[in-house]
Amino acid sequence: MTVCTVPHAAIAARSVQQTILTRDGVSLAVYASGPADAAHTVVLLHGLCLGAGSWQVIEDELREQLGEWVRIIRYDHRGHGGSGRAPMHTYRVEQLADDLTDVLVALRVRGALTVAGHSLGGMAAMTYCARPVEQQPVRPRGLVLVATAAGKLCERGLGRLLATPAPDFLSALVAHTPAYAAEHAVRALARPVCELVGLSRGCARAERRVLCSMCSAALSTTALSTAAGFLPHLRRFDQSAGLGNIRATTTILSGDVDTVTPTAHAQEMAKAIPSARHRQFRGAGHMLLHERPAQIAEEIASIVLRRTASSGVGA
């Protein structure tokens, strides 16, 4: 593991950037703040074509609510942001859960752990939490799932696009077209696609603005091969059978006008995960991290404080 001790200003003034290698040799850009021997660690996992920076405002809010005694870790998934690219066949949710394992081991996380994931990051978080204890170097005590799903992505909302030939077309484009030409073609299509998403029935105005800006940013920082690798896999992703194995205190957060992962996904997860709590935000869409940052941080902080009180550990 290579450690950089210079704060990464683009992520957060208090964060220290580190680079770790996964078990299959992919470099991950990791940003950590707070004491290394903290009694409680929070790990924040971002969505597809986003990055660790999508949680920046949430981390600031968590610091306001929890202080400096909690360790907060964020990182760019493989193929995203400052992390290295990987073979397309490794762009799978199960692999992201493996990467989470590698991060926890490399950073020597001890004590209580809460994992929060948005969209694709939520899928990775629930997959890790559903694994047998012996496959978890640290067993999470808290889990926060934000605008995500455990499966059936092809059956609802914009996820129905996964059932079309589009993901296979994208994969073929990447596989058989020179990288520059493929990237240029997709960038040319990005604007009308963003407008189509923004005009989707039920899409909140705030979500429309944020989604379009995030789409533009993602195209400049995320390789086309990343999306081309993940999308066909998401068509088949299904963690519903494992949800009953989750023992972490779980909160599920959704927006009632989310057109990417509609509320029905959250309702099904809440029924399947033991003692899970579901909170829905009116007028909010898929980009909850940007639409309701204070409330998301409040929910994460609530779980941290609840688990800390129950374990008798003081701040």
- Are 76 and 96 in contact, with CB atoms under 8 Å apart? no
- What pLDDT is attached to residue 49? 87
Q: What are phi and psi of 88, to 5 degrees?
A: -60, -30
- What pLDDT is attached to residue 8? 44
Per-10-residue mean pLDDT for the chain, 315 residues long?
Answer: 40 76 97 95 95 95 94 96 92 97 97 96 98 96 97 81 59 53 48 41 49 54 76 91 97 95 96 97 94 96 84 50
- What pLDDT is attached to residue 219? 54
Measured between alpha carbons, how far is residue 94 from residues 25, 98, 116, 234 in Å? 16, 6, 16, 11
- What pLDDT is attached to residue 9? 41
Q: Out of 3.40.50.970, 3.40.50.1820, 3.40.50.2000, 3.40.50.150, which CATH number does the structure's domain 2-155+238-311 have?
A: 3.40.50.1820
* 258 CB-near residues (< 8 Å, 6+ apart): 147, 157, 207, 284, 285, 286, 288
- Are 194 and 212 in contact, with CB atoms under 8 Å apart? yes
pTM: 0.83
| Domain residue spans of the chain | 2-155+238-311, 158-232
- Are 190 and 216 in contact, with CB atoms under 8 Å apart? yes
CA 131, 254, 49, 140 torsion-angle sign:
negative
